[in-house]
């Protein structure tokens, strides 16, 4: 048995118009099946349905180049657009030329896993109480509502591995398993692009992450990797405090530091993108284990120096990180089992709005077809504490602490703490209680800049 193909073009030669293709990969561009994607673009097939986490940024060798070439008719993804990143796909979605089905990240991989396992549908607590659950079948189990989710099957899957043998056995490296195993199982034809092809037996059985029975074709990558691209340190704007009433609030780093202090010792913690990623830098000397949706447990601080970066060790935001002793890697299905199964003790996320019922909106500023759900809804469906970190008001000075969220909900009645650049709020007795304010501010000034009703605690302290 030999599943090796001579070139990417040969490996995708039978893909025709209207095919459904799952493209695995998570955040970092160098771990996508770029050779296969370029070959598909050059083949020019049209009316494709793409299943993926996101299409990526303009010009990136990901699904976005297929959208730029007007080859995509439908998108099934956790992210359709990202704020501040105009794309061809966003223009096509807005014009009605591209159909979109937004799916929470953990449910996307679970639907694919179910498709490969011969399970036609399943119930999940994810997305209950949000617009995504409207019109869907909902059933209660143990007194808790669950949404019916259907399995996903695709014609082809494009995967990226570290190495494979000619029998189709694949090894992934570091945190780069992500969507690959579930997408392979959902596909009629799984095609894996790898850095190295070896003979059977060269990969020890215990290092095979995807058995060859799930793989139809293997091809060696034809894209040369630009090492400088993934080594380039991330450029960040200076972290200046926002002014309220002419006085400085906490910086974003200050918000992250205060949120870190809420984390209990001996716990497992998930950090979202944006301000939450900065929290990791304040947990280094703590008895805390960090979890990332792409499939890492036990990562440490963010790194940028050439000699510190490993291209396969990164967090859910695609930032390169260090590892702590005892760290482990796994795929996204396992990662979200940890979240929905209640194994994560604390989740720290950013948000657009929080309202006085404890509900949160953090994935869309427009409508339920244009935004980025990511893994947030799955993370909220677990049983851990939810800490929201954000600035007190938006860039136009409007309050983000609302009576009722104006944006589509991510989760209903689920927030335990809110840390802003002006305040610390704790959910207690079915209301938010103000416990701390930024240095130099009074409780009255903080409440004035919020729309929701907030109780004032008996001993309001200054935030450290």
Residues forming the active site: 293
Provide the 3-class DSSP secondary structure of residue 131.
Answer: helix
> What are residue 75's DSSP bridge partners?
50, 100
Q: Residue 349: name the closest of 442, 289, 274, 401 by CA.
A: 274
CB-based contact 432:418 (threshold 8 Å):
yes
C-alpha span between 110 and 81 (Å, rounded):
22
E strands within 280-336? 288-292, 296-302, 321-329
Contact criterion met (CB below 8 Å) for 296 and 338: no
Both tokens assigned to 310: 């490993």
Q: Is 426 helix (H, G, I), strand (E, B) or coil?
A: strand
Cα of first residue to Cα of last residue in the chain, in angstroms, is 64
Q: Which residues contact 315 (CB under 8 A, 6 or more apart)?
A: 271, 277, 280, 290, 292, 294, 296, 299, 302, 321
**Residue 65 · residue 33 · CB < 8 Å:** no
E strands, 142-287, in order: 144-150, 154-165, 170-171, 187-198, 217-220, 243-244, 247-248, 267-271
Cα(217)–Cα(11) distance, rounded to whole angstroms?
7
């Amino acid at each position: 048995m030999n599943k090796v193909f001579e070139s990417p073009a040969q490996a995708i030669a039978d893909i025709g118009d209207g095919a459904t293709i799952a493209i695995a990969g998570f955040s970092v561009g160098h771990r996508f099946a770029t050779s296969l994607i370029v070959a598909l673009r050059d083949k020019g097939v049209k009316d494709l349905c793409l299943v993926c986490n996101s299409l990526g940024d303009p010009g990136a060798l990901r699904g976005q180049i297929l959208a730029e070439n007007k080859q995509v008719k439908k998108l099934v993804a956790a992210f359709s657009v990202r704020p501040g990143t105009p794309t061809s796909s966003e223009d096509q979605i807005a014009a009605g030329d591209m159909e979109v089905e937004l799916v929470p990240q953990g449910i996307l991989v679970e639907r694919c896993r179910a498709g490969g396992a011969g399970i036609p549908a399943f119930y999940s607590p994810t997305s209950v109480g949000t617009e995504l659950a409207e019109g869907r079948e909902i059933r209660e189990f143990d007194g808790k509502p669950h949404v019916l989710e259907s399995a996903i099957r695709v014609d082809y899957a494009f995967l990226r591995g570290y190495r494979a043998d000619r029998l189709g056995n694949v090894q992934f490296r570091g945190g780069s398993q992500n969507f690959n195993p579930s997408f392979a199982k959902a596909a009629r034809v799984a095609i894996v692009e790898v850095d190295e092809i070896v003979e059977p037996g060269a990969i020890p059985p215990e290092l095979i992450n995807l058995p060859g029975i799930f793989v139809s074709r293997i091809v060696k990558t034809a894209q040369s990797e630009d090492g400088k691209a993934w080594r380039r340190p991330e450029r960040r704007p200076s972290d200046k405090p926002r002014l309220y009433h002419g006085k400085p609030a906490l910086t974003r780093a200050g918000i992250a530091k205060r949120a870190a202090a809420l984390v209990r010792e001996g716990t497992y913690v998930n950090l979202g993108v944006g301000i939450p990623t900065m929290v990791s830098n304040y947990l280094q000397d703590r008895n805390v284990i960090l979890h990332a949706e792409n499939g890492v447990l036990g990562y440490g601080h963010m790194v940028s120096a050439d000699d510190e970066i490993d291209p396969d060790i990164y967090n859910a935001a695609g930032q390169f990180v260090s590892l702590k002793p005892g760290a482990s890697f796994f795929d996204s299905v396992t990662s979200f089992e940890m979240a929905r199964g209640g194994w994560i003790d604390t989740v720290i996320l950013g948000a657009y709005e929080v309202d006085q019922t404890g509900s949160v909106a953090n994935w869309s500023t427009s409508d339920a077809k244009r935004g980025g759900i990511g893994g947030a809804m799955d993370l909220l469906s677990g049983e851990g504490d939810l800490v929201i970190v954000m600035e007190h008001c938006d860039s136009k000075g409007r309050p983000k602490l609302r009576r009722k969220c104006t944006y589509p909900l991510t989760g209903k009645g689920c927030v335990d703490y809110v840390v802003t650049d002006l305040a610390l709020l704790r959910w207690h007795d079915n209301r938010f209680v103000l416990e701390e304010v930024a240095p130099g501010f009074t409780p009255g000034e903080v409440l004035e800049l919020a729309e929701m009703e907030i109780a004032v605690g008996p001993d309001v302290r200054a935030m450290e």
